[in-house]
Chains A and B, each alone.
Chain A
């Protein structure tokens, strides 16, 4: 009998652990892109409330389609799901450090792995590669205003609007 009771307690504890771990990951997410924006409305043309950098932790309040209404510090705004991950992004050397401990599998180390240092080494071994135009194309800058005009003049629509 004692064995059965302990078995029940054991499973109850396990289920609780699983559920609480899941609930936690759904509530808080990390920015997984260089920079994203919290917007006043769930649209890429929505007014920018504040910009959130790589690794920033946001809390999810509400979801509408691919958009999530979040809080970041004292700010509230809509963020597109593709810029967020349930993993905790830990920033490494030279970047603001984040505190807290989590399970290994939920961590992604920013700036680690395939990074600038690895690219430099790869380039040193492959001198025929020229990154000039890669850098130039990454520097082509298109503003939200340009996109807004392009869309309205061309009688287009922005897909992916929430709600």
Chain B
């Protein structure tokens, strides 16, 4: 009996040593062998398997395809609060700038890529969905005096996506529930009941993310992380990271206390500058960057 216990303990210990990606396959095979050898019972084997599956499920998270669909609907909710700015000139410039920056991020390839849209509002606000949809208000563009500063704003939003802050806003229990529903396999098309369950779960996920993103804001830690990611992205892309400080300085003069925008959802520009610990940009930027910024966005300033 003692030997048997020892055998089981070593067996479980060995499982832990196996590479993460292989754990589930290895567990299935290993538990099969163990059952055949009589080391563990069939019931014990089943329970070990279920445990391992649950663990990998929570680590696996959503696929980029799931995040894309989550992102589309989060974006649609953002568009109930703000109207899109139907301005091809500024939208195509923001997409060109934003997609160039995304290539310098740790996650240059999302399921359907990065897409940017300017919102027709004086509020100082921006949002990034897990699916790569990034929104920025006219009011926030007005905080930018140069292409480098606008790049800083977009890089901060790309930072939120890279660090998966949107997905992390989903409540833990909800996440587990959604992933369990998603993990069910075997049917090619959904029956009505499954579809209802899935779309309810989907609705809950969207509501968790949008409540945090639009109403309550992320934690200060997340905002500082996104600022740090922005500095990296800017540096890699050849922009001056200090431009983020310049933009925050302008923002601190323009932001209205008590507003429902960045005034509510973000740490103060001063706090963000202090946390960044870098100095404002002083070096000259190439004329072409000044010119193309004014040409595309000058009419909004």
Give A contacts to B, CB under 8 Å. 3, 6-7, 10-11, 13-15, 17-18, 21-22, 25, 32-34, 36, 44, 54, 66, 80, 82-83, 85-87, 92-93, 102-119, 121-122, 125-126, 128-131, 133-134, 136-138, 140, 142, 146-147, 150-151, 153-160
Contact = CB atoms under 8 A, between A and B. Distances in A.
B299 interface: no
A111 B103 CA distance: 26
Contacts of A44: 103, 108
B37 A109 contact: no
A155 B238 contact: yes
Interface string B1-29: 00100010011001001110111111011
- The 6 A-B pairs with the shortest beta carbon distances in the complex, nearest first, are A159-B236, A159-B104, A105-B24, A21-B22, A103-B25, A18-B18
A119 B26 contact: no
Dominant secondary structure of chain B at its interface with chain A: helix
Contacts of B76: 129-131, 134
B233 A159 contact: yes
Contact of A25 (B14, B22, B84, B107): B22
A140 B288 contact: no
Nearest to B34: A10
A111 B66 CA distance: 9
A138 B292 CA distance: 23
A33 B37 contact: no
A92 B65 contact: no
A15 B33 CA distance: 13
Contacts of A21: 18-19, 21-22, 25-26
Interface in B22-75: 22-26, 28-30, 33, 37, 39, 52-53, 56-57, 60, 62-66, 69-70, 72-73, 75
Given A103-B28, A137-B91, A140-B116, 9 more contacts: A6-B37, A18-B18, A33-B109, A66-B106, A80-B108, A131-B76, A137-B84, A151-B100, A159-B236
Nearest to A154: B289
A54 B64 CA distance: 11
B7 A118 contact: no
B103 A158 contact: yes
B198 A113 contact: yes
B134 to A, nearest CB: 9
A102 B236 contact: no
A41 B37 CA distance: 52
